[in-house]
Structure 1
Amino acid sequence: MITRHFQLGADFPEVSYADWRKAVEGDLKGAPFEKRMISRGYEGIELQPLYTEDIFPTREDPSGVPGHPPFARAASVLGNRLQGWDIRQEPDHPDPAQANAQILDDLAGGGTSVSLRLDAAAWHGLDADAPQAGQWFGRDGVAISTTADLAQVLDKIRLDVAGAWLHAGAAFLPAAALYVATAQANGVTPDRLLGGFNADPLGTLMHDGSLPVPVERALADTADLASWTAANAPRMTAVEVNTSPYHDAGANSVQDLAFLLGSGVAYLRALTDAGLDVSLAARQIQFSISVGARFYQAIAKLRAARVLWAAVVAAAGGTPDAQAMRMRVATGRRVLTTRGQSVNILRNTVAAYAGAIASAEAITTIPFDAPTGISTEQSRRNARNTQIVLAEECHLNHVVDPAGGAWYIEWYTQTFVEQAWALFQQIEAQGGMIAAIANGWVAERIAAVETKRERDIASRKVPITGISEHPSIHELRTPQQVIDRAALRDATARKLAAWRSGHASGTALAALAASQDGRTAAAIAAAQAGATLGEIAAALVPPGSEPAHVSPLVVHPYDEAFEDLRDAAEAFATRKGHPPRVWLAGIGSIAEQTARRNFSRNLFESGGFEVLGHEAATDVEQAAAAFAQSGATVAVICSTDKRYPAVVPELAPKLKAAGARHVILAGNPGAAEAAYREAGVDRFIFVRCDVLETLWSLLRAEEAV
């Protein structure tokens, strides 16, 4: 029998933070610790290289336990340990029949619920055949105008088992009415119905720039829907706070959290002002949070969101169980790229991983080819299988809050809580989220962050794998399904005409238009009578009311600037038969060339240039002769700083004489810039230079734009 206890740490002396830092500073050989070892994100938070108990004491367990306030660790005691998280996928085909096939395939392949986004026409409260719907029909969702359309989308789906979470923009109340009427027609009563109506008028206002009614009227309808849901559909939620409009426009994590909190408080006030108890009102609100590809940051952000919401509900007098946030996590659209789409698989994995580690109740992963159109069967399968692998092979749901107690994550969570709360107080000082949206304050704060991020992307300080780093100009695009939207709209219009001729909904619509209270019940009655989504939406607009308008937030995908470059280069290739070309004139041994050759190749291929040049030891004469035979018009000198003073004055004129329109030096010239320019160098490329400006300038010179 072994009686001795094995303790690995006992064999090593304890090392203090001060001792560790002293050793690191010795290795830095005089370089500033703060500059080399501390990083800063767009929140302005200093991220240390090492976290210890001294930095964030955990002995008193400040995060509590899962399922109890402050809910940092999970909304329930066992987190996702028993049933796993909800794998909630979204169809993207505009045809209801095709969307249904996508949903059934997702559910058969491991999905557990449905996120159903209506197309842009329905989102704006328009039927498919409305004259104004032309530009929006079939865009960004499923074309739904009637209960028949919705029944087709949800055919063979147990709405009391899988359920659907709707995303209908300004038409949240008409969509909710169609959903309830469709379910009842199929034998599912509201008390058994599962899902969410997801009214989010503030998010819609920021996404679209408008609402068909004043904000106050939209909030009143939101409260009416919540009251009806609380009384009739206990397995549904009425309201959603969705951070995607802010996140995709460029908001940092602190802003995401503050805007989430500001919107949640606005909805909580609207619901309680309408007579709902604060705890009942809080349970009607769920949160959909977009995350990017920085998973430690995402984990901390999600944990902080729960802490912040619990604090708000507690301050409002809500019960402890009402303080628990209902959370869905989704991959942020801004991080998905149009080219290099295979890397989107990794971005999806990071987002899903963060959601799972942070104990989100539901996760949505986006198909990797979503940025370029209707997703393929393969990409949809990959999206849901990413979650299945994390759950069933990585067993991420087998441990409740695995990040709990990690000094870095706990510190990051608390820092986000403090900074987001401070920003939320600024929102309140503006008069609340509604006022902060209306006066442009929210958009201004996001724009300041996005401007800095765009500068960093342009200089490749923020790399985008597969786009600005390690791009492939010869990649094969994923074939996309071509949809004849005009033909689909014509067919839908014919169905709508037949539908209207077979249903008399005028009386129900008149009752809805005349209603002041109980508008949700009246809208459901209209849907049951055969009213279309557009007809219900029109009846909900009070006579003489003015639409709400703001400047919409613009989605800023990380890759958009480089995608524009690639498009211009591809257009050039179509006209000329080849992409714009660059020749790498390496000088010296291969070892002397390699670093700057690789740097230059990455830089130019990120703009769609074809990079030519042989990797071989060469001298000035050989380099100039090789360039003359290359067919390129841009030459890039690649060697070492030590060689440049002797090489550049001799090589640059020879490259010009050989036909180079532009001679570029790879490296920061420092004090030698004037001499190199006099020798014939036109431009310099180096770490943190403005890559976009350089490449656009060359494309313009090549008449590619």
Structure 2
Amino acid sequence: MTDAPQRFAEDFPAASHTDWMAMVEKALDGAPFDKKLVARTLEGFSIQPLYSREHWPAEGDPSGMPGAMPFTRGARPLGMSQSGWDIRQLHANPDIAATKAAIADDLENSVTSLLIRLDAAGRAGLDADAPEAADLFGQGGLSLSTVAEWDALLSDVDLTKVPVAVQAGPQAPVVAAMLTALWCQRGVTEFDAKGAFNIDPLGALAEFGRLPTSLETALGHMASLADKTARTFPGGAVTAVAVDSAVYYNAGASEAQDLACAMATGVAYLRAMEAAGMPMDEACGQIAFSFSLGTDQYLNIAKLRAARLMWARIAEACGAGEPARAARVHAVTASRVLTRRDPWVNMLRSTMVCFSAAIGGANSITILPHDAALGQPSPLSRRIARNTQLILQEESQLNRVIDPAGGSWALESLTEELAGSAWALFQDIEKGGGMAAALSSGRIAEQIGTVRETRRKDIAKRKAPITGISEFPNLAEPAPELADPDLEALREAAGASLASVRDDATCDIFSVEGAVEELDVLPTEIATAAIKGATLGELVRASTRNGADALEITPLPSHRLAEDFEALRDGSDEVLEGTGARPLIFLANLGPIAHHTARATFARNFFEAGGVEALTNTGFADAEDCAAAFTDSGARVAVICSSDKIYADQAEPAARALKAAGCAKLYLAGRPGDKQADFEAAGIDAFIFVGCDVLGTLQGLHAALGVTSR
């Protein structure tokens, strides 16, 4: 043995990017490099197959050090290496008893904070027993109309140790007061309280299309509560303001649009807080960002790094000191990427979200259960979502390395390019009058809609495939068991609880109305009234003057990427339920297995993505046998599958025979080339191949078969 160092690389000449390009061009044999190996994002910039020093010059250390400007590399010098990220679990089951048990289970198994989402009734400012709440109760969250119900839900939670964040939409200021009332009632001091009120008036306006007050009033209330929060709860353990971009992302925004909307919203909130007299450092400290992440791990990582970079520059321009420029970032699984079909694949999607959020330096992460798009998640799916984070943190130890993306030519370059693209969009929003004007004019909706339509076309052609949906569908998949509660029974119980609280209430709501007229200077009055028994609905009515100056716009729609294909599967299910069988297509496999198996597999995958069951076979030697088998199958449509060599001799006779046998619609798997006219003359109606409009073809087939898609 020898201790001499081994330098194997010295035996090889140094290679440059130019040398690599020369070899690639030789291997491509004339095919265009940009089309074959360069991917393009919806933002318009290119993803290279290989990055080198030429793509991201590190001179001058443009990303800085972790914990220092421009905070690209994280808000803390040691990142999450010591404490790990905050594992924040979402709770939205309207069954309070079930949610209470789920919270206990989470906290016993290393969840570190809670995110409580109100139902549609609560977000509309309605008590559970309000007549208008009948169809809204339990939709998307919990009905918590009184401090007593909050207390019952969190009775086993140590509120001095467990942060509680809330999602209450337009009613976030009132719910903030109710959570504050709970802390007071429990004896939690201002030094021990931990949580996030998540007041986000522009986000609420975009999502729900309505604010209970004018925007000016809503921003004033937000700023007042932020100021009160900063003064009441020192140390930053409680934040009042959220910039949650989920509404834009789930409407179809690109990563750059998502960042631009978030930054423009943040600037609007800084302006409101500055107008309320808050020091800029305190104002920045009251804002918590929340970003939804999809399944592109590189874009996810770059997105979180770019968000910190952009916000640091904005806060610097606004006069904030360096420590206050570091954005507080929460990451969550984007609901748009979750599928209702083959939901088990969502486990992999969420794992990718968690991985990239951790590498990107998120302070806290929420992973949605894999069955969240179907209804109330089951205990098993909640456990898997929680354990996904635990495995990546405790076993994979993703938090142990400080900013592992730092210095990566690919990720640093992508971060810079994404930030630049988002910055241009942010400037455009600001030039147009800011985020409020962009929402009110419909400009944001139009821009996001354009990007969504482009993505939708990519999904339709499987250029952007969705596993288990447009690719590798499983028509025989078992549906997961859900935990859907009895909403009628729960609403009846909630009404009885409310009646009891009202009987015991010591608060004169009419006296509250006068106090909340001065909400901008007396926000504690609502908390006092809540402690005395005032309900959510009463407090909302008192603080909004019954909606006299309410603001309304057209809300942004929410879409899931898989919804068009899933509508076809829903139509197939209705046929199965009504007739006992799914829509069928006969695979007219010509010749030996070696010739037809590739295209038969492609065709089966293609049509079953639309819920049309493919009837396969080992192949036919002649057209007559093929047509006879088609007749016996009971199918009304067929697809011819084989190699180009077999097509040359047998495709046309087979087509004529199948049409004579009653085939209503006939496809051929593969590009027809110069034989298209002959094939069509023989009776072939359409051709399926890589890059064709899969969704449109399947929708046309459904129409031909009389299948109604929801």
Structures share fold, TM-score greater than 0.5: yes
RMSD: 1.4
Alpha carbons 1:94, 1:119 under 8 Å: kept: yes
Query: What letter matches 2:687 in structure 1?
Result: F
Query: Which stretch of structure 1 is more off in the superposition, 680-689 or 411-420?
Result: 680-689
Residue of structure 2 in register with 1:226 after alignment = 226
Alignment of 1:448-487 (within 5 A): 448-487=450-489
Alpha carbons 1:590, 1:617 under 8 Å: kept: no
Alpha carbons 2:595, 2:646 under 8 Å: kept: no
Query: Which stretch of structure 1 is more off in the superposition, 231-240 or 545-554?
Result: 545-554
Aligned match for 1:662, one of 661, 665, 669: 665
For 1:578 and 1:517, locate their aligned partners in 2 and report how far apart those are by CA, in whole Å. 63
Residue of structure 2 in register with 1:646 after alignment = 649
Residue of structure 2 in register with 1:692 after alignment = 695
For 1:516 and 1:122, locate their aligned partners in 2 and report how far apart those are by CA, in whole Å. 20
Alignment of 1:318-467 (within 5 A): 318-467=320-469
Q: Any idea what SS the aligned residue of 1:371 has?
A: coil
Alpha carbons 1:109, 1:381 under 8 Å: kept: no
Aligned match for 1:564, one of 549, 564, 567: 567
1:8-36 Cα distance to aligned partner (Å, 9 max, x none): 43232211111101100111111011111
Residue of structure 2 in register with 1:671 after alignment = 674
For 2:2 and 2:76, locate their aligned partners in 1 and report how far apart those are by CA, in whole Å. 40
Q: Any idea what SS the aligned residue of 1:334 has?
A: helix
Residue of structure 1 in register with 2:78 after alignment = 78
For 1:641 and 1:374, locate their aligned partners in 2 and report how far apart those are by CA, in whole Å. 50
1:65-87 Cα distance to aligned partner (Å, 9 max, x none): 10001001111000100010000
Q: Any idea what SS the aligned residue of 1:448 has?
A: helix
1:580-617 Cα distance to aligned partner (Å, 9 max, x none): 11111111232221221111111111111111111346
Q: Any idea what SS the aligned residue of 1:90 has?
A: strand
Query: What letter matches 1:442 in structure 2?
Result: I
1:521-544 Cα distance to aligned partner (Å, 9 max, x none): 121111122111111111111477
For 2:8 and 2:303, locate their aligned partners in 1 and report how far apart those are by CA, in whole Å. 34
Q: Any idea what SS the aligned residue of 1:370 has?
A: coil
Query: What letter matches 1:604 in structure 2?
Result: F
Query: What letter matches 2:137 in structure 1?
Result: F
Residue of structure 2 in register with 1:24 after alignment = 24
For 1:495 and 1:358, locate their aligned partners in 2 and report how far apart those are by CA, in whole Å. 45
Q: Confirm or deny that 1:13 pairs with 2:13.
A: yes
Query: What letter matches 2:186 in structure 1?
Result: N
Q: TM-score, normalised by structure 1?
A: 0.98
Query: What letter matches 1:547 in structure 2?
Result: A
For 1:2 and 1:168, locate their aligned partners in 2 and report how far apart those are by CA, in whole Å. 67
Alpha carbons 1:221, 1:519 under 8 Å: kept: no
Residue of structure 2 in register with 1:282 after alignment = 284
Query: Which stretch of structure 1 is more off in the superposition, 463-472 or 34-43?
Result: 34-43
For 1:531 and 1:555, locate their aligned partners in 2 and report how far apart those are by CA, in whole Å. 33
1:264-301 Cα distance to aligned partner (Å, 9 max, x none): 00011111110000111000000010000000110001
Q: Confirm or deny that 1:537 pairs with 2:540.
A: yes
1:226-274 Cα distance to aligned partner (Å, 9 max, x none): 0110010122000000010001110000001100100000011111110
What's the offset of the Cα at 1:574? 1.3
Alpha carbons 2:620, 2:626 under 8 Å: kept: no
Q: Any idea what SS the aligned residue of 2:87 has?
A: strand
Structure 2 gaps, min length 5 = none
For 1:640 and 1:303, locate their aligned partners in 2 and report how far apart those are by CA, in whole Å. 49
Alpha carbons 2:92, 2:118 under 8 Å: kept: no
Aligned match for 1:503, one of 497, 501, 505: 505
Residue of structure 1 in register with 2:180 after alignment = 180
Q: From the superposition, tell whether residues 198 and 516 of structure 1 become closer, same or farther in structure 2 (CA, over 3 Å).
A: closer
Q: TM-score, normalised by structure 2?
A: 0.97
Alpha carbons 2:221, 2:520 under 8 Å: kept: no
Q: Any idea what SS the aligned residue of 2:585 has?
A: strand
Residue of structure 2 in register with 1:291 after alignment = 293
For 2:680 and 2:689, locate their aligned partners in 1 and report how far apart those are by CA, in whole Å. 16
Query: What letter matches 2:337 in structure 1?
Result: V
Query: Which stretch of structure 1 is more off in the superposition, 691-700 or 88-97?
Result: 691-700
Alpha carbons 1:457, 1:463 under 8 Å: kept: yes
For 1:414 and 1:396, locate their aligned partners in 2 and report how far apart those are by CA, in whole Å. 23
Alpha carbons 2:225, 2:520 under 8 Å: kept: no
Q: Confirm or deny that 1:626 pairs with 2:629.
A: yes
Q: From the superposition, tell whether residues 543 and 560 of structure 1 become closer, same or farther in structure 2 (CA, over 3 Å).
A: closer
Query: What letter matches 1:417 in structure 2?
Result: A
Query: What letter matches 1:636 in structure 2?
Result: V
Alpha carbons 1:509, 1:535 under 8 Å: kept: no
Query: What letter matches 2:523 in structure 1?
Result: T
What's the offset of the Cα at 1:557? 0.3
Q: Confirm or deny that 1:546 pairs with 2:549.
A: yes
For 1:589 and 1:110, locate their aligned partners in 2 and report how far apart those are by CA, in whole Å. 57
Q: From the superposition, tell whether residues 584 and 217 of structure 1 become closer, same or farther in structure 2 (CA, over 3 Å).
A: same
Q: Any idea what SS the aligned residue of 2:587 has?
A: strand
Query: Which stretch of structure 1 is more off in the superposition, 190-199 or 285-294?
Result: 190-199
Residue of structure 2 in register with 1:60 after alignment = 60
Q: From the superposition, tell whether residues 116 and 127 of structure 1 become closer, same or farther in structure 2 (CA, over 3 Å).
A: same
Alpha carbons 1:509, 1:531 under 8 Å: kept: no
Query: Which stretch of structure 1 is more off in the superposition, 420-429 or 484-493?
Result: 484-493
Alpha carbons 2:249, 2:258 under 8 Å: kept: yes
What's the offset of the Cα at 1:516? 4.7
Aligned match for 2:238, one of 236, 239, 261: 236
Alpha carbons 1:90, 1:103 under 8 Å: kept: no
For 2:492 and 2:43, locate their aligned partners in 1 and report how far apart those are by CA, in whole Å. 49
Alpha carbons 2:368, 2:385 under 8 Å: kept: yes
For 2:518 and 2:92, locate their aligned partners in 1 and report how far apart those are by CA, in whole Å. 35
Q: From the superposition, tell whether residues 100 and 36 of structure 1 become closer, same or farther in structure 2 (CA, over 3 Å).
A: same
Q: From the superposition, tell whether residues 695 and 411 of structure 1 become closer, same or farther in structure 2 (CA, over 3 Å).
A: same
Alpha carbons 1:87, 1:113 under 8 Å: kept: yes
Q: From the superposition, tell whether residues 659 and 322 of structure 1 become closer, same or farther in structure 2 (CA, over 3 Å).
A: same
Structure 1 gaps, min length 5 = none
For 2:8 and 2:129, locate their aligned partners in 1 and report how far apart those are by CA, in whole Å. 72
Q: Confirm or deny that 1:594 pairs with 2:597.
A: yes
Q: Any idea what SS the aligned residue of 1:345 has?
A: helix
For 2:195 and 2:61, locate their aligned partners in 1 and report how far apart those are by CA, in whole Å. 35
What's the offset of the Cα at 1:565? 0.3
For 2:619 and 2:674, locate their aligned partners in 1 and report how far apart those are by CA, in whole Å. 29
For 1:93 and 1:254, locate their aligned partners in 2 and report how far apart those are by CA, in whole Å. 33
Residue of structure 1 in register with 2:584 after alignment = 581
Alpha carbons 2:297, 2:353 under 8 Å: kept: yes
Q: Confirm or deny that 1:703 pairs with 2:703.
A: no
Alpha carbons 2:672, 2:687 under 8 Å: kept: yes
1:461-486 Cα distance to aligned partner (Å, 9 max, x none): 11000000001000010122232212
What's the offset of the Cα at 1:147? 0.4
Q: Any idea what SS the aligned residue of 1:642 has?
A: helix
Q: Confirm or deny that 1:192 pairs with 2:192.
A: yes
Query: What letter matches 1:557 in structure 2?
Result: R
Q: Any idea what SS the aligned residue of 1:385 has?
A: helix
1:179-215 Cα distance to aligned partner (Å, 9 max, x none): 1111221121233110100001111111111111111
Query: What letter matches 1:563 in structure 2?
Result: E
Alpha carbons 2:622, 2:654 under 8 Å: kept: no
Query: What letter matches 1:521 in structure 2?
Result: T
Residue of structure 1 in register with 2:248 after alignment = 246
